[in-house]
Amino acid sequence: MAASPQLRVFHTVCSHDCPDSCAVLVTVNEEGRAVKVEGDPSQPVTRGFLCGKVAKYLDRVYAPDRVLYPMRRKSGVAKAPLQRGHELEAFERVSWDEALDAIAARLKETSDRYGPESILPYSYAGTIGVLGYGSMDRRFFHRLGASQLDRTICSEAGGQAWNLVYGKKFGMPTEDFRLAKLILAWGANIHGNNIHLWPFVEEAWRNGARLIVIDPYRTRTAAVADWHIAIRPGTDVALALGLMHVILDEGLEDRAYIAEMTHGFAALAERAREYTPERVAAWTGMTPGEIEQLAREYATTRPTALRLNYGVQRAENGGAAVRAIAMLPALTGAWKMRGGGGQLSTSGAFAWDKKALERADLALVSPLGRLARVVNMSALGQALTELGTKGPGAEGLKADADGPAVYALFVYNSNPGAVAPNHNAVRRGLERDDLFTVVHEQFFTDTTDYADFLLPATTFLEHTDVQGAYGHYFVQLSKQAIEPQGEARSNVWLFGQLAQRMGFAEPCFRDTPEEMIRQALAIGADGRSTNAGMEHITVEDLERAGHVPLAFHAHPEAQPFLPYTSGSVPTPSGKIEFFSVALAAAGLDGLPGFVPPAESRWSEAAKKYPLELLARKNDNYMNSTFANLPGHRKMEARTSQRIEMHPADAEARGVAEGDLVRVFNDRGAIELTAMLNAHLPAGVVAARLDWAKLHPGGANVNALTSERLTDIGGGATFYSTLVQVAKV
């Protein structure tokens, strides 16, 4: 794409873990330096703007503290948090050849000595580009026979729960929210981390819609809503069932839609009968009248759009909560009208050819001759400290207890030293002298402090990829706009090179990104994709436009997409399941029900630790990404290193605004400054995730969170954490 003889403009895609997957135009000058990033005005969801995190992205790409070349830990430097700004002193520069040879040799030795499953990859969505997220890396670890990682930390509970109801993650198109007359944002901070939905919300608002936000915390979105309902953490499933109770009691359900499209209505109706407004009010902190009002408003407004986001499912009962909430638009038939229905994620619509990309078949030629064991990433602390020590099938070990201890950890696309729950257990694992740790990163982080080898990683401006989204329906090509900074390299390059050093002769390890994009799209003989919904897409189209809608979204006005309104859905019954056939077959409750989390105000543990902690995400960071940049830190300064408390909870502890307090439980403690917030429910405190090394005591909120897993999907339970607070 040409701009002027001196300037060139490239189509790229923001690959950070965000539903919006923005189309980003990058202007590059004659010296090959990126001089501008801007949202692509022609992309119907990006609409020409970027969020505050990425609008200044060049500060990140050209940051003076980028990791720019491979490094090896100096001998004798202990694995422990390194002083910020002095990390370089712990490492010595090596060439890529030296680093790759040494890493390959150590992985071979580890595999020979302890078995290949003693090697654990650890990655998540540091990039959500299709190639960067999971392609050459998966091939490499399958061929090696390394442990497989169950990538559960963020969205697995909600994703599986949605799929139990609807079979696949489809949702109403983002652009159609503008047609809604009621928008119910449930655990969805649209303004904070789904900003490209916001203009559609505003348009709906201008046309008379109401915005209701359900969230224990008064987010930016909640603060401007017509009605903010601050329920207690972990009570969402009770509220959803209470709404069903009222809807059914008053005959507000859509019987025709239910008869045609759903399975298990009678059983659900019986379950919902138990959830009277009075009982639900006692759990959620709402009044019975508010529950009735919300139910009536939700069921009688047309069209009604539900934006459900992943915060809801980070409680111990998060899977049941997402199931119950997801059933609401099916109960009222909200899907039938354009501008109605719901959205958790649109990712189920992107049928990438993962078989070709990930090559799980390579496990058959690994030393194991089979697929390796699976280790849950949400229990990394246990995986690093307990695996191999308790024997096969050990009780209470949530990571797979079979097989060897982990002796080599390969981290990329993630910063577990900051984001993994139970930080102190993770840290004990990372500090092990007998653990060989490789980290592929853009900056020094909480995790790189423990690296034996640190390898420089590219940003999305520096490599080519293809991407879908979980907040819209466009396939997008991200072209490399600039040369990699220093000696930074992409995931595809890194794992292809390592495979060759390991002696893996399969030709797939020599595939180029361009070849892998064609594989992801399953390009057929006629040059078009053969993936479902992508049959009209060619690489040339993507090169030209940057973004191409999926087939069902190609003509949104003439042929609007109304998911779940006809035909069968991919569940065992072929219907939207109020009653889960799969769960019942597994001997579990086929219906959602409210079970208070083991760490909540109703549990025994609350006698010792009575406050429910919301270990919150930031609006201006992406989990831990961006937290090192001064401009981004400034935007989060107001709540930095603070614990927000209801005034009654503060007073009961003799704590005043600005006091230094100790927040603690049996897993750990951190010191924070008290900040009073009357919008929080009493008994709930809130603190933001930050880098551990940027906290004075070297630990962040994850020193308090647990490795207990969600009811569905084995996800992390960041929002089911009990603590006590005491003045220092």
Q: Which residues bind ligand SF4 (CB under 6 A)?
A: 14, 16, 18, 20-22, 50-51, 53-54, 195-196
The total of other beta-carbon atoms located within 10 Å of residue 66's CB is 18
Contact between 287 and 602 under an 8 Å Cβ cutoff? The reply is: no
Q: Shortest Cβ distance from residue 199 to ligand SF4 (Å)?
A: 12
Q: Shortest Cβ distance from residue 54 to ligand SF4 (Å)?
A: 3
Q: Shortest Cβ distance from residue 677 to ligand SF4 (Å)?
A: 26
Q: Shortest Cβ distance from residue 213 to ligand SF4 (Å)?
A: 19
Contact between 323 and 580 under an 8 Å Cβ cutoff? The reply is: yes
Closest CB to ligand SF4 among 11 and 196? 196
Closest CB to ligand SF4 among 47 and 106? 47
Burial 447-473 (b: 16+ CB within 10 A, else e): bbbbbbbbbbbbbbbbbbbbbbbbbbb
Q: Which of 70, 123, 695, 715 is CA-nearest to residue 415? A: 123
Q: Shortest Cβ distance from residue 177 to ligand SF4 (Å)?
A: 16
Partnered with residue 665 across adjacent β-strands are 668
Closest CB to ligand SF4 among 53 and 271? 53
Q: Shortest Cβ distance from residue 204 to ligand SF4 (Å)?
A: 19
Q: Shortest Cβ distance from residue 192 to ligand SF4 (Å)?
A: 10
In the structure encoding, which two tokens stand for residue 582, read together? 């799969």
Q: Which of 315, 408, 428 is CA-nearest to residue 113? A: 408
Q: Shortest Cβ distance from residue 492 to ligand SF4 (Å)?
A: 21
Contact between 174 and 190 under an 8 Å Cβ cutoff? The reply is: no
Closest CB to ligand SF4 among 16 and 73? 16
- The C-alpha atoms of residue 314 and residue 318 are separated, in whole angstroms, by 6
Q: Shortest Cβ distance from residue 353 to ligand SF4 (Å)?
A: 24
- The C-alpha atoms of residue 288 and residue 266 are separated, in whole angstroms, by 24
Give φ, ψ of 100 to 5 degrees. Answer: -65, -40
Closest CB to ligand SF4 among 56 and 501? 56
- C-alpha torsion angle, residues 471, 340, 224, 236 (rounded to 10): -80
Q: Shortest Cβ distance from residue 128 to ligand SF4 (Å)?
A: 9
Residue 104 host element (H or E): helix 96-114
Closest CB to ligand SF4 among 195 and 439? 195
- The C-alpha atoms of residue 513 and residue 510 are separated, in whole angstroms, by 10
Closest CB to ligand SF4 among 47 and 528? 47
CA 476 to chain centre: 20
Closest CB to ligand SF4 among 66 and 196? 196
Q: Shortest Cβ distance from residue 657 to ligand SF4 (Å)?
A: 33
- The C-alpha atoms of residue 44 and residue 294 are separated, in whole angstroms, by 32
Q: Shortest Cβ distance from residue 37 to ligand SF4 (Å)?
A: 9
Closest CB to ligand SF4 among 175 and 316? 175
- 668 to each of 663, 715, 716, how far by Cα in Å? 8, 21, 17
3-state secondary structure of 358: helix
Closest CB to ligand SF4 among 53 and 617? 53
Closest CB to ligand SF4 among 16 and 228? 16
Q: Shortest Cβ distance from residue 287 to ligand SF4 (Å)?
A: 36
Q: How many helices (H) and strands (E) would you count in the chain?
A: 24, 27
Strand runs labelled E in 582-690: 611-616, 642-645, 660-665, 668-676, 684-688
CA 530 to chain centre: 28
Q: Is 610 exposed, middle or buried (0-12, 13-18, 19+ CB in 10 A)?
A: middle
- The C-alpha atoms of residue 669 and residue 641 are separated, in whole angstroms, by 13
Q: Shortest Cβ distance from residue 18 to ligand SF4 (Å)?
A: 3
Closest CB to ligand SF4 among 196 and 263? 196
Closest CB to ligand SF4 among 284 and 345? 345
Q: Shortest Cβ distance from residue 20 to ligand SF4 (Å)?
A: 4
Closest CB to ligand SF4 among 40 and 599? 40
Q: Which of 120, 67, 117 is CA-nearest to residue 430? A: 120
Partnered with residue 529 across adjacent β-strands are 523
- The C-alpha atoms of residue 371 and residue 259 are separated, in whole angstroms, by 42
DSSP string covering 307-332, please? EE-GGGGGSTTHHHHHHHHHHHHHHH
- The C-alpha atoms of residue 93 and residue 88 are separated, in whole angstroms, by 9
Closest CB to ligand SF4 among 56 and 653? 56
